[in-house]
Chain A
Amino acid sequence: MSAAGPAPGYRVPSLGWRIVVASLRLIPLIILFIGLPIAALSFLTSHSIPLPLSIAAVTIAGAVIVALSTARYIAKPTGVYGPLSIVASAFVLGYVFYLLGQSTYRFRLPGSSVTIGITFTTLVEWLLIVPALALVAALVTTIEDARAPRERLPFDFPP
């Protein structure tokens, strides 16, 4: 026998509010996906160390991830949220696969005869789990939205 009682209400934020919050979310997202990687690569460049990844590729990938994440946030109460999440997760999965291809990094220390090689393949392989799980979650959400639209909204926007 479950406890009976009046269920509290939930409120879906308006489009304007979601745009405002999404704009604020842009700040940490840009720092995390664009600012920090470019700062790390610039640090290597300033020390005349060849780059393991191209700055252009990192910038473009970071911008796409930020844009998709923002779009997902704004579209969260709608039926587009699931497909957008699939696209975002698939893109991140592709990006991590790109990183996997670059995961052996050899460079010569400037001004010396020392060559250092570092392999972070295993770490990137573990990292693949993250977008893969997110992709499955996005697929389930898409199925849920197709079967029962608005079913998830009370839990995505709890009172």
Chain B
Amino acid sequence: MSGQVYTYPRRVPPLYRLARAFRRASVLVLVLLILFTVSVIYSTSELTQSSSHVGSFSVAFGSNGTMILAGSLTLNNPGFYPIQALSLEARVVNETGGFLGTFGYGPVSLGAQATTEFPIELYLPVSATGPGASLLVETQYLNVSVWGNATFGYMFPASVTLQELRHWGAPFDHLAFTVQSPDPNGSIPVMLSFQNEASLTEAGILRISVVAANGITCGTTSWPMNVAPGQQFSQTQPIALSPGCSPVGGTVTGEFVTPAYSVPLPTEAIP
């Protein structure tokens, strides 16, 4: 290093001091922002490696004509910053695109270095008609769309959307009523068959009615049943018809009844 040697003044000029202050402030802000960003990235990487998970779902019939998918989402935030404004929304449609139900949660906050379990309860309406009927009688893949929003490190809003096909085991899969020829004694044998593909045991009373074309109930019967998950069910039951009531052109309707709830089954036409 070479160059001319000059006298060094004692007093720092005001303009130089001012420029130096701005330069130092600029560097200070930059360093603080870099440190903050690095810590947020580190916290986020910790979050992605944490033990957050969606718990297994249980399926149950509800008292209000719904099937309830209940589970939980456990989020573990080992990072330095809270997760704010966390909200989740899910939408379920059946295989043919029929809307079944939606689930919403939040917004909630998850503190730093904390683990929280969020309940997930999705109510799917079941009925003898409409898209909900397919839940009863068709094992299928449901299309589940999930949206999630949250803010990390106070200043990083993030969103996640995903679509997933979830296997659905129908409790009355391939439900079929087979109406046989009327007996001479005025009763008509009706065979009911289905497979329980759901993860719940179907224990209750099965009630079947034969309804004439004009809407008058010709006869009803009921019997207890207890069908374990995965079990095939097939049973023929004679239904005593009211005198003069013709089932031809009518329908067979069914209902699964327990003390807690009743589930209408899809009807089937009698040829």
B162:A17 contact, CB within 8 angstroms: no
Assembled-state Cα–Cα distance A148/B15 (Å): 10
Asked whether any CB of chain A lies closer than 8 Å to the CB of B215, the reply is: no
* Cα(A147)–Cα(B19), bound, Å: 14
Question: If A123-B33, A123-B156, A127-B33 touch, does A154 touch B6 (CB 8 Å cutoff)?
Answer: yes
* CB pair A153 B22 closer than 8 Å: no
CA distance in complex: A116, B162 (Å): 9
Q: B8 is contacted by which of A127, A129, A134, A159 (Cβ under 8 Å)?
A: A159
Verify if B161 is at the interface (C-beta below 8 Å from A): yes
Q: Are B25 and A133 in contact (CB under 8 A)?
A: yes
Interface set, chain B 120-176, CB cutoff 8 A to A: 155-164
- Please tell me if B271 contacts chain A, counting CB pairs below 8 Å: no
Question: Given A12-B6, A137-B19, is A129 in contact with B29 using a C-beta cutoff of 8 Å?
Answer: yes
> Is B97 an interface residue, CB under 8 A from the partner?
no
B37 touching A115 by the CB < 8 A rule? no
B-contacting residues, A141-159, CB 8 Å:
141, 143-144, 147-148, 151-155, 158-159
From A115, A129, A134, give the contact of B162 (CB < 8 A).
A115
In residues 108-134 of chain A, which contact B (Cβ within 8 Å)?
112-120, 122-123, 126-127, 129-131, 133-134
- Write out the residue numbers on chain B whose beta carbons fall within 8 Å of the beta carbon of A54: none
> Do B3 and A13 touch across chains, with their CB atoms under 8 A apart?
yes
A130–B3 contact, CB under 8 A? no
Whether B26 contacts A12 by the Cβ 8 Å rule is: no
Interface string of B172-185 (1 = CB under 8 A from A): 00000000000000
Q: Which residues of A contact B260 (CB under 8 A)?
A: none
Chain B CB within 8 A of A136 CB: yes
B15 touches A7 (CB 8 A): no
Separation in Å of the A72 CB from the closest CB of chain B?
12
Q: Which residues of chain A from 79 to 134 have a CB within 8 Å of any chain B CB?
A: 112-120, 122-123, 126-127, 129-131, 133-134
Which residues of chain A come closer than 8 Å to B159, judged between CB atoms? 116-117
Q: Nearest CB to that of A154 among chain B residues?
A: B8
- Which of B8, B25, B30 touches A7 (beta carbons < 8 Å)? B8
Any B CB within 8 A of the CB of A2: yes
* Cross-chain pairs A/B with CB under 8 angstroms, 8 sampled: A9-B7, A17-B3, A115-B160, A116-B159, A119-B157, A130-B26, A137-B22, A144-B16
Given A122-B156, A133-B25, A134-B26, 13 additional A-B pairs, CB 8 A: A9-B7, A11-B4, A12-B6, A115-B160, A116-B158, A117-B160, A130-B33, A152-B13, A152-B16, A152-B19, A154-B6, A154-B8, A155-B16
